Structure 1
Amino acid sequence: MRTPASLLADLLAADPARPRVTFYDDAPGETCGERIELSGKVLANWVAKAGNALQEELDAGPGTVVRLDLPGHWRALYWALAAWSVGATVDLDGTIDADVTVTDDPERVPAGGEAVVVTLAALARSHPNPLPAGAMDEARELATYADAFSPWEAPGPRDRALVAGGEHTAYDAVVPSPGWPAGARVLATGDLASVLRTALAAWAVDGSVVLVREADPARMPGRLAAEGVTLDPR
């Protein structure tokens, strides 16, 4: 069974230094204009830290529901992979009770349950606003967790991996088989559900993603050429 965690291991085994995520932020606001590139090794380090935070601090594992209340952003990718690495369910719809909420807005932290507040800016060292009592400040605290991760328990094939668009997808079906060329460099845009599916499909063929948040159409032709994008699934 191919899982998101096994995909990440495959990327590291193939070439840990190769870029696997290239991110552009076109969304209005303080992060507009950011460009971030993550190699397989760097992506795995972020996943390990987030996975350890989920497992050690928030008691997440198979059966845990992790609500991802984030835009299509590079930080959302590693939180999704971290949740899958501990065997949890990633919920994008917000229609089921969450055990852990990962959000970029302190005002959307629920009254009950565990919460992580993410600051999207690349160089942030703490969240700029006050956080609810008990919420984890990702920018301040995530760096304290280890760069290596080992799950305490693996998910079963029929355990729920993803809730998105009203559909529930099990672990044995969450990694797609897109039939794309090996090593494809794929454009990923849109909401988080679309971004996650595109990223998993690209990594399944030993590829990489160019992720653009709220893409500016005027910038896209030159950007796709500069980044060597070989597949635009829009």
Structure 2
Amino acid sequence: MADNIARVFADAIATDPNRPLLTWYDDATGERTELSGATLANWVAKTANLLVDELALGPGGTAAVLLPPHWQSAAVLLGCWSAGLTVRPAGLTVAERPGDVDVLFAAADRVAEADAWSADERYALALHPFALPLREVPAGFADYVTEVRAHGDHFTAYPPGGPDHGALRDRAAARAAELGISAGDRLLVDVDRHPDPLDWLLAPLTVGATLVLCAHLDPARLAERQATERVTRTLS
């Protein structure tokens, strides 16, 4: 298996790029967004092209991602890994954070946290259900949705990936085994209980599972959703 997170994603969608790969629910808002592998790949490619073509970043570059689990967060993370960047975990305390990064992505309600990081470029995300841009862009930030749409729909990932990609891929495979996720699973994840991208994104993709991600999961809807989405495995 290649030491490249982008290859993990490519392999996950290779069999049928048009099947639903990631379905996003937010029971607090009623949102449901379904993305095929091809659609998510388009967002991932645009993100990687933004990083490479506009910011001149690549292997050895670093990104801080201050985003909750979300389908747009998946695009940002996979785009960073496709461009060969090392992604700094968002859950670290200020004292544990590793210092400067080249680019930072933050949800609109978390931009204040970005002051703890030194980043050359900063992008804010509204995480709007229809991927609409921010109504008001925070000072010092660019709007991710507005900027990313201008970039190309295809991207060839850097072969070596970043310096941490092999270790991250191994951790994802080990976590998939630990959680009992298998190839072909349709995995429902309560993302409030499993906010680590290793659980809701990388581990499932590593073994070829598809995703049903649920925020603010209403327990009363769980059984119906499992049936409707043909879920074979649940992390709640």
Tell me if structure 1 keeps the 8 A contact 2:103–2:119: no
Let me know the Cα RMSD of the aligned residues.
2.3
Shift of 1:143: 0.9
Pairing partner for 2:148 from 142, 147, 154: 142
Q: Which runs of 4+ in 1 moved over 3 A?
A: 106-112
Task: Give me the whole-angstrom Cα distance separating, in 1, the residues matched to 2:122 and 2:203.
Answer: 29
| Larger CA deviation: 120-129 vs 171-180 | 171-180
Distance 2:8 2:188 in 1: 18
2:48 matched residue in structure 1 = 51
* Aligned partner letter, 2:123: V
Aligned counterpart, 1:102: 105
| TM-score normalised over the length of structure 2 | 0.83
The 3 A distance-change label for structure 1 pair 58 and 82 is same
- Secondary structure of the equivalent of 2:219? coil
Identity of aligned residues (%): 35
* Structure showing the higher helix proportion among its residues: 2
Out of 68, 79, 84, the position equivalent to 1:82 is 79
Mapping 1:146-161, distance limit 5 Å: 146-151=152-157, 154-155=160-161, 159-161=163-165
One-letter amino acid of the counterpart of residue 106, structure 2: T
Aligned length: 220
Structure 2 portions without partners, runs of 5+? none
* Paired residues of 1:45 and 1:147 also in contact (CA < 8 A): yes
**Contact persistence 2:23–2:212 (CA under 8 A):** yes
1:127-151 Cα distance to aligned partner (Å, 9 max, x none): 1223223x22112221110000124
Equivalent position amino acid for 1:228 in 2:
R
Q: Do residues 42 (structure 1) and 39 (structure 2) align?
A: yes
Residue from 122, 126, 129 that aligns with 1:122: 129
Supply the distance in 2 between the matched residues of 1:217 and 1:172 (Cα, whole angstroms).
32
